[in-house]
Structure 1
């Protein structure tokens, strides 16, 4: 193990190295390490909660605001964007997010999680101001690309920071909060658009307001401690102990020090694998390759399902077919997405990830087929008595509800498939798959509508959703109730989609045998 700094405020002056702390003599016991979780958390843990909330909100607000901005630009004399320019302005953010996500893992290890978060906030705030002042399409494209870099980086580093700094008791709730605030940010964005719709330069105001969440995040991050795990990696043991002490203000000196020693132990045990090149960690073992393939495939299906097309172009699409107030429809879409995220969080651990996907993805395909039928009739005076508009909105909301209940949340948990040494780069690859697919869909959706019409576009994506259902049934494993160590066995020899069920059945059989022996 490496040396602890001699100026550590929590160590006696006669203790300078970890070796002098003979863990086998229980100077710092396992009870100290586990007991620290029972001492309660302080204000810094609350700041982590705020970071999760503001980070998710920032991401959600940005993904939804472009829909209203494109609608406002159609009504503005400042810009007359073609369909291709709208796709470019929208899709370039996902391109930036792709590059931001793949570069973040290295930056976070080199400069620290907190510092990268701070940089993201500065960049995002600057881009929001720049976008509110643009006068050319090129300047808007550049600004949106910069926003994408910040969004992609934040979407990678914030979950890593939270997972490393949050006490285990509230870690799950933080992940829940991050999902909820993302969809909540989308809902707030559409409400803001509705209330400023009649304001002069409303699109500039929408861009400007997108910088407020990142500014709040920036202010909060100034008071947040760095990840203790990163500080140990950087051999800064004194600051690591101070960070742990701030997170657990009621912990004893030995509990705090034992926590840091535990982090060091974990890092030391996996150092050889962590030191391997990234491509070896990701592709050196067949089981890791299979796990990564499943995670990337599900993220691909999430983005290719066309959900974000409704988030990006919903107002434009509904306006083009004569739906009354497209901003109201956008609020309904984001509101449905927000509400049904609660369904996902409520039932995923009870029903299981695989079962939730199998119960909802086929509904997405059927809902899009109904939307295609409704689009054929909307705007046709001979057939339209109002029912087609109602059917269209209802089918889109059914699609969104089904998406939010499973596919909108589960792909982000696929990182649990990966072993520890591959988790950070694997997570980056899964996220990058999502952003790359998102950029392709957002950059071609309006052109696709122009080429083959809205009904046929919906039909194409409906077929993709239905094909995705069969792929999930064939290859996506259930890991509900499995430990991270047990998940490794799922991909050891092919993909054992029923491993969790088999293991549970074996455990039940063992319990029954023991009960029989006792009787």
Structure 2
């Protein structure tokens, strides 16, 4: 008997028939009405046992997996969250390494300002293309294998960059690296969100931003290590080879998303994976799995009568989907149009402009990268405790940092060097630290906002916007700086967008803390003005306590 489960296999036929009659609402399931939760769930467990008894070798080979199981299911959840989030190191290293590498690379390849800007910005442009590829890859191959594909692209891109004899080859290498970043960026958040319990979702998806920030620190550290080495910039841009190899090995021990398997009628595989991620003796776990099947079945029925174009149109024409899309895009945009990528890519240059030597500027970049990394730690520990709305107020902190950075450039270095450096570095640390905490939201919120049928497409659009804004801000940084000055750019443009974003969050940001992905569907069924009124009522109650 084959271990591969298809929608027409003997394992799935009974399940499909049962779920056809599964008409209880989410509320009914939770209350135990209309269906016997234990019996219904037990039938799926039996399907999993039958699959195991038939042999799972071919199933594991197909899924590119060497399964591991922990007695404590929380340890398996943490293992999955940590290793998947490790992908962020690749993204972080490739974002920050160019800041230090550009000094030696500019001289070796004799780059003009325009060519330098293109090399820096082609990675986020490639990430836009990678984000577009993410949906067909993750839907056809699965969430985990999409991340594996991103590892392969990282490896190819790093080799091309390290061996590049001219700027045209660097263009190609950076673009291919961007493809990996884009596929990874959309896939990781969805994969983790679909695998982990709702009480840990915010913390573990935030871990991805933690590793991005840690990768950015590593990128600056690698640049500092190889700065004085002849041809050191080649070692810098090729360093992601090491991290892509580690990620590839770790992914071999992780399962496919149970929600992806359910959505594709692979119930036996799904329950076996779910058993590795939850204590299935608990009623809440049983209810979550049955809700997952109910929602997936409803989405499949809807998609069966629709073309691919209609699925995309549903994101805009169905109010629930449109609200989630608009909200997620706004939050992603706030994370990018406030200047973080421009600051990261040109941090060494900005340090040199404030008065540091070229070598010291590379070393001092570690200050900004370190603050960004440390800022993500509270998000991992406390976001699920305080909630998304409270966490969004980190925007205020990094706006203050932007103001101080802008003021630092106004203080004359010749007469008040200590004051200029002090104000600038204080602003940089505040900006990076608070942004590190805030940036976790830009991965958590899109990953949990969309329905299961639109999640891949929604994340594709969000990731595309994220990297499109990153490309726009990075590519135009030098021209915007010349037109607005450093102070005008940081305070007027980046700070102004953050100021507007504060009021959007106050009125229209819903609270999704501790809710299952299925419960979040209900939140976005509400009109935006109803959400705004609820937020205002909650604020009044809080202020009058």
Question: In the alignment, is residue 17 of structure 1 matched against residue 17 of structure 2?
Answer: no
C-alpha deviation, 1:500, in angstroms: 5.8
C-alpha deviation, 1:204, in angstroms: 0.4
Q: Which blocks of at least 5 consecutive residues in structure 1 are unaligned?
A: 9-14, 507-519
Contact 1:128 1:209 survives alignment (8 Å)? yes
Change in CA separation of 1:429 and 1:405 when aligned onto 2, cut-off 3 Å: same
Question: In the alignment, is residue 290 of structure 1 matched against residue 323 of structure 2?
Answer: yes
Encode CA deviations 1:437-489: one digit per residue, 9 max, x unaligned. 11100110022223443233223322332233234334434444666536644
Q: Which runs of 4+ in 1 moved over 6 A?
A: 19-23, 31-34, 36-39, 248-252, 256-262, 503-506
Encode CA deviations 1:61-97: one digit per residue, 9 max, x unaligned. 22221111113324xx412222222221111111111
C-alpha deviation, 1:284, in angstroms: 1.8
C-alpha deviation, 1:250, in angstroms: 9.3
Output the CA distance in 2 between the equivalents of 1:101 and 1:33.
34
| Secondary structure of residue in 2 paired with 1:5 | coil
Contact 1:287 1:494 survives alignment (8 Å)? no
Q: Which blocks of at least 5 consecutive residues in structure 2 are unaligned?
A: 1-5, 23-34, 49-68
TM-score, normalising length from structure 2? 0.78
Match of 1:413 in 2: 444
Question: In the alignment, is residue 343 of structure 1 matched against residue 378 of structure 2?
Answer: yes
Output the CA distance in 1 between the equivalents of 2:403 and 2:36.
67
Match of 1:149 in 2: 179
Change in CA separation of 1:40 and 1:167 when aligned onto 2, cut-off 3 Å: farther
Please give the residue correspondences for 1:47-446 in structure 2 after superposition, counting only pairs within 5 Å. Answer: 48-74=80-106, 77-166=107-196, 171-236=201-266, 239-240=269-270, 243-244=273-274, 247=276, 264-275=293-304, 276=306, 277-324=310-357, 325-358=360-393, 360-379=394-413, 381=414, 383-406=415-438, 408-415=439-446, 416-446=448-478
Output the CA distance in 1 between the equivalents of 2:373 and 2:120.
22
Contact 2:203 2:384 survives alignment (8 Å)? no
C-alpha deviation, 1:332, in angstroms: 0.8
Output the CA distance in 2 between the equivalents of 1:99 and 1:162.
22
Encode CA deviations 1:10-57: one digit per residue, 9 max, x unaligned. xxxxx96336879957784447879x9996339975652453232122
C-alpha deviation, 1:153, in angstroms: 0.3
Change in CA separation of 1:234 and 1:268 when aligned onto 2, cut-off 3 Å: closer
C-alpha deviation, 1:267, in angstroms: 2.1
Count of aligned pairs between the two proteins: 489
| Secondary structure of residue in 2 paired with 1:453 | helix
| Secondary structure of residue in 2 paired with 1:305 | coil
More moved, 226-235 vs 394-403: 226-235
Contact 1:241 1:257 survives alignment (8 Å)? no
Change in CA separation of 1:112 and 1:385 when aligned onto 2, cut-off 3 Å: closer
Change in CA separation of 1:195 and 1:234 when aligned onto 2, cut-off 3 Å: same
Match of 2:29 in 1: none
C-alpha deviation, 1:296, in angstroms: 0.8
Contact 2:206 2:444 survives alignment (8 Å)? no
Output the CA distance in 2 between the equivalents of 1:419 and 1:20.
23
Encode CA deviations 1:314-337: one digit per residue, 9 max, x unaligned. 011211332251123211111111
Contact 2:406 2:490 survives alignment (8 Å)? yes
Output the CA distance in 2 between the equivalents of 1:250 and 1:299.
34
Contact 1:94 1:148 survives alignment (8 Å)? yes
Output the CA distance in 2 between the equivalents of 1:237 and 1:244.
10
| Secondary structure of residue in 2 paired with 1:225 | coil
TM-align CA RMSD: 3.7
TM-score, normalising length from structure 1? 0.82
C-alpha deviation, 1:282, in angstroms: 0.4
Match of 1:468 in 2: 501
Change in CA separation of 1:305 and 1:167 when aligned onto 2, cut-off 3 Å: closer
| Secondary structure of residue in 1 paired with 2:346 | helix
Contact 2:7 2:266 survives alignment (8 Å)? no
